[in-house]
Structure 1
Amino acid sequence: MRNRLLIASVSGAALIALSWSAFAADTSQDFVNKAAVGGMFEVETSRLADGAAQDAAVKDFAHTMVTDHTAANTKLKAIAEKGNLTVPTALDDQHQAQLDKLKDAKGASFDQPYVKMQRDAHKEAVSLFESYAKDGDNAALKAFAGETLPTLKMHQEKIETIGSDTAVQPAASGTDDASGNGGKPPLPGANSFTEGQAKDRIQEAGYSDVSALAKDDSGIWRGQARKDGKSVSVALDYKGNVTSASK
């Protein structure tokens, strides 16, 4: 009888240990899944922004994201693989859809959706890493979460500042395109766009037959173009904002 009770106790303890082990692995795997996909999303969207963003602050932020999150992703992968955890190699459907949407954004319409995606992504990442750093079940991953959290918070603070900057708000369009108009584009300033780059940027904004481009005394490229079958006067300021006025 005593032997039966002993065997039953040992078996029960083994089952409890097995159940706890499975729970711990599942929890760790869930963190790895979310952190890895989030990190890949940061890198892929920021690679697009590094080349397509119009605002200098957004470009700088995107470059930082590629560098920092590539390093974090590499470290996460090493820790996960050492713990026999699977690391996702592709985005989930939700993040892939957002990336595809961003790929379709061009010219002056790119910055705002990218910034919004980054604000949302960092809010989720900070919450995920804070939670796991506090209650995580894998010591190595828990340490990783705690070490990475300050960088994520720094990123979040930076993108919140950029997001509140008028430079990444939608470019105005219409007939009010003179300088001294209360901060609406086109804005006067040192314009580094070449004529060819200015033409490309205007075309990316949806205009065709761009011609007669010339930079005025305020640093604004002005010229002629067509949109929706109509001839318009177009302007491109130093921030990349494209505006137009009917002729």
Structure 2
Amino acid sequence: MSASDDPVEYACGRSFGIKQCGMRGHHTSFKVGAFFAAQAPEETMRVLNIAIAAALIGGASYAYAQQMSSEEFVTMAASSDMFEVQSGQLAAKNSKQPSVQQFAEMMVADHTKASQELKVAAGEAKVTVPTQMIDKHAAQLQKLQNAQGETFDKAYLEAQLVAHQEALKLMQSYAQSGDSEPLKAHATKASPIVQRHLEHAQKLVGQ
């Protein structure tokens, strides 16, 4: 099974070879489910899926910090940047909302720069940077390519929430406990930028 086949296994770190998942994330997801139980079914499922993904990623942060190698970090960081650049290019072209187009253009610029900086840090760490996205990101991009109109904007923003939650946990965890100083420095620098992106995406979803 690939990372894209099971989002729970992916969030728990199976794609990194990690065999454990933090339990705190699961407890959080149950509380979130109870909170949304009284909401409209379609909206409940949309928001609940995002919330559960965030909770699972949060639960996996301990495993990230303890077991992620420099090669695994570079693979995930590079894939994240590629997804952000390519999905941003798609959103800048296909979105009908100026605010979403502006956000997408910022994603392209910021993650292009982040990708270049990652290559420098990876070179210092003697780690090869992959040129293709992981299966999960490729599947997400394919889903966006198939979306149209208002459906596209909704799908893009939801993908941005989850992607930046994942990226933030990745950067914060590796910055704290990574095994390569150049890559730790990159993760430390990238974390506040990813945090700002996440907050911006949250505002757009709330509009």
Identity percentage of aligned residues: 41
Q: Which residue of 2 aligns with 1:163?
A: 205
Distance 1:59 1:110 in 2: 12
* Cα deviation, residue 103, structure 1: 0.6
One-letter code aligned to 1:133:
A
One-letter code aligned to 1:90:
Q
Runs of 4+ that moved beyond 3 A? none
Structure with bigger strand share is: 1
Aligned with 2:162 (options 94, 117, 120):
120
Tell which structure's C-alpha radius of gyration is larger: 1
Q: Which residue of 1 aligns with 2:124?
A: 82
Aligned with 2:96 (options 49, 54, 74):
54
Distance 2:69 2:150 in 1: 42
Distance 1:140 1:79 in 2: 5
Please, what is the CA RMSD of the aligned residues?
1.4
Taking structure 1 as the reference length, the TM-score comes to 0.55
- Residues 4-36 of structure 1 deviation map (CA, whole Å, 9 limit, x = unaligned): xxxxxxxxxxxxxxxxxxxxxx71111101111
Greater RCO, CA 8 A, separation 6+ = 2
* Cα deviation, residue 86, structure 1: 1.3
One-letter code aligned to 2:127:
L
Distance 1:29 1:62 in 2: 28
* Cα deviation, residue 108, structure 1: 2.2
Q: How many residues align?
A: 141
Distance 2:94 2:195 in 1: 25
Structural mapping, 1:4-153, within 5 Å: 27-153=69-195
> Which consecutive unaligned segments of at least 5 residues does structure 2 have?
1-67
* Cα deviation, residue 164, structure 1: 1.3
> Which consecutive unaligned segments of at least 5 residues does structure 1 have?
1-25, 166-247
Taking structure 2 as the reference length, the TM-score comes to 0.66
